[in-house]
Structure 1
């Protein structure tokens, strides 16, 4: 059971020096000038499909987007039990390999946990990227209420299969990053297939990262990139004041999408896509000004 693709999108496999990664590649819409390429990283328990509603609107604004499953997420392979390949530093190397495979320069976007992986990647090497957008992704560890949910998941994975855990999730109501048919996204069968496609070791390792992530905003602020902090108008994973403060510390553009929670890409995809394209367009304008000054 698969998810419907955005218009003109292709399901592809990106072959990199770090292995193969499943992706959805959505080209620029016909007759629209090509303005850039963006690499989209999903969050904890998420996948490339989380960005389906964004990719069509962004294609109409001139942006090719490539949404990926990270190592051990849904259709990208990874070890079942060995957690070491899912250490944040390893996932950051995966992002740099993906950027190399796609071709630089790229706008980089990470949602939730994906934002912290994206942050780690640009701290290591910013050169493949034109900008970084942190979508509903905070400065350090997640809130206490979300830590409790992660602990419950880890306890369940210690004694249950992925399929059994899914049945419990459905009975309790899906966690923030799962999305689901209530948002017009996927069918119950495709959501179950996505969940069971995740590797338990990936969920265990990245869950621990979310619960213990240090504040690396000062490190990120030293990176010479334009930053964008985007979120919904409410967020229980990282409360808005934390995201507001992070944006100030990064001298970042700050966007709040009204009527959206932790997943503005699914809750309010059209205004979210417009905000992203506006930010990326602004980088084009600034780059053109720099070129004019250099040539002058």
Structure 2
């Protein structure tokens, strides 16, 4: 089991929790639609919040995280709950910045992580250790540590993080609920995102991460993003493990459909599931994710005015799905 976490260095994240506000959520019923999240276009990863940096031990080394304590007065009762949030390929814990304070205000603590090899989390040198089947048991140990500390864990994985979250549940992670966000049943289908991985792989292998960053700059991909956020996106790419980007990229093009295994696991352990995605997701088609939800007998929601990352594209509408659903799961858990 993972060792207890240690606090991070506040100076390293001073911009992350300056002025952490709950956007007035304290006066609202916790089950109500969360108050508007005022993150301007392209500004989400720098959205202010009250989380503090921590380091969580894992079998693959320390994991950088952001933890926010729940407003206990808003909890549904029973043991405390934590939403454990896993980012996608080339992402980081900062992708969840707009969600942190509203979730905590609804009585659910938050722990957002950089997966091994992502941004501030060191990772192994072997590409194969970044596949979902290898990272899943790592996350399962983090979940077990949270559970051992008396917390009920609501596990959410975005995109590649969803494949890892699924593998964690299959590895026995004692979760009280599973949310797969903009994540599919297996490998990415043919399309722009898969083509991008095909194109970038030889560049990354032969020329390195700086050339990948230069290509993203030249493509105009970040043209509508706030310069302060672009600085973060460049920095986290530069600090991410090349082996991790290659290993995850390969898995995104080869991961098997393990939905049948997941169905058996969640049914046996009575784990409620939610599949949620942007209504214009351009990675896994919405129809494919809806079918996966049907197979899982999971709740399904499509977030308007969002594509592959509703956490940064329309966080308020995403919270309108997550918060009431999670609170219902926790209440049902108490009632048995």
How many residues align structurally? 283
Summarize the alignment of residues 49-60 of structure 1 with structure 2, pairs less than 5 Å apart. 49-60=94-105
Counterpart in the other structure of 2:264: 222
1:4 pairs, out of 4, 16, 27, with 16
Distance 1:283 1:82 in 2: 38
Spell out, residue by residue over 1:163-186, the C-alpha distance to the aligned partner (whole angstroms, 9 max, x if none). 221011111133xxxxx6835594
Q: Within the alignment, does 1:113 sit opposite 2:155 as a pair? A: no
Q: For the structure 1 residues 232 and 143, does the alpha-carbon distance in structure 2 shift closer, same or farther, using more than 3 Å as the test?
A: same
Asked whether the equivalents of residues 73 and 107 of structure 2 are also in contact (C-alpha less than 8 Å), the reply is no
Cα RMSD for the two superposed structures? 2.0
**TM-score, normalised by the number of residues in structure 1:** 0.89
Distance 1:215 1:232 in 2: 21
Q: Within the alignment, does 1:286 sit opposite 2:322 as a pair? A: no
Q: Within the alignment, does 1:61 sit opposite 2:106 as a pair? A: yes
Counterpart in the other structure of 2:323: 277
How far did 1:42 drift? 0.4
Counterpart in the other structure of 2:312: 266
How far did 1:281 drift? 1.2
Distance 1:184 1:61 in 2: 29
How far did 1:17 drift? 4.3
Summarize the alignment of residues 94-173 of structure 1 with structure 2, pairs less than 5 Å apart. 94-103=138-147, 104-126=151-173, 128-145=174-191, 146-173=193-220
Asked whether the equivalents of residues 18 and 97 of structure 1 are also in contact (C-alpha less than 8 Å), the reply is no
Summarize the alignment of residues 173-188 of structure 1 with structure 2, pairs less than 5 Å apart. 173-174=220-221, 182=224, 186-188=228-230
Distance 1:115 1:217 in 2: 12
Counterpart in the other structure of 1:177: none
Identify the range of structure 1 (248-257 vs 7-16) with the bigger mean alpha-carbon deviation: 7-16
Question: Partner of 1:12: helix, strand, or coil?
Answer: strand
Identify the range of structure 1 (243-252 vs 16-25) with the bigger mean alpha-carbon deviation: 16-25
How far did 1:30 drift? 7.0
Distance 2:263 2:331 in 1: 22
**TM-score, normalised by the number of residues in structure 2:** 0.79
1:77 pairs, out of 105, 110, 122, with 122
Distance 1:8 1:135 in 2: 24
Distance 1:250 1:20 in 2: 33
Asked whether the equivalents of residues 189 and 284 of structure 2 are also in contact (C-alpha less than 8 Å), the reply is yes
Distance 1:65 1:221 in 2: 26
2:131 pairs, out of 68, 72, 87, with 87
Structure 1's unaligned 5+ residue stretches are 175-179, 291-296
Q: For the structure 1 residues 280 and 268, does the alpha-carbon distance in structure 2 shift closer, same or farther, using more than 3 Å as the test?
A: same
Q: For the structure 1 residues 184 and 58, does the alpha-carbon distance in structure 2 shift closer, same or farther, using more than 3 Å as the test?
A: farther
Asked whether the equivalents of residues 49 and 98 of structure 2 are also in contact (C-alpha less than 8 Å), the reply is no
